[in-house]
């Protein structure tokens, strides 16, 4: 099954993750999510694939995070994901997806163990 990377070419960690994949012989589908933002349903699927809290998907050091008061603990997962759908730069990067699994590759070295566990057949 093919790999996909949700990529921001301006982010050094995202570039490192893509380079690591390519150095290991993988040619992932590259989705520049700032150019092609994910919809709320796509983000909900990604959340299930990651198996992490929604807040782990959100970049809390962005100005938009503060402007939208996303630190508010009363916000639901759907509200947080809708904020990411509306302002895609809030999405953590890079995220690598394979089948029903995904990984926030931060730091990119996390990919080394993850790639050993996924079925790339």
Q: Which residues are catalytic?
A: 11
Look at residues 4, 101, 6, 5 and name the one whose alpha carbon lies nearest to residue 51.
101
State the Rg of the chain over Cα.
14
Handedness of CA 74, 80, 82, 83 (dihedral sign): positive
25: Cβ contacts below 8 Å, ≥ 6 apart: none
In whole angstroms, give the CA distance from residue 103 to residue 121. 18
Pairing of strands 101-104, 95-98: antiparallel
């Amino acid at each position: 099954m093919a790999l996909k990377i949700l990529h921001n070419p301006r982010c050094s960690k995202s570039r490192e993750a893509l380079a690591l994949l390519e150095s290991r012989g993988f040619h992932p589908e590259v989705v520049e999510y700032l150019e092609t933002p994910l919809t709320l349903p796509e983000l909900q699927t990604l959340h299930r694939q990651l198996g992490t809290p929604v807040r782990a998907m959100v970049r809390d050091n962005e100005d938009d995070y503060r402007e939208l008061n996303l630190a508010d603990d009363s916000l639901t997962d759907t509200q947080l994901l809708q904020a990411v759908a509306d302002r895609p730069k809030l999405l953590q990067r890079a995220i690598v997806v394979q089948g029903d699994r995904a990984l926030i590759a931060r730091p990119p070295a996390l990919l080394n163990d993850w790639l050993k566990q996924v079925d790339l057949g």
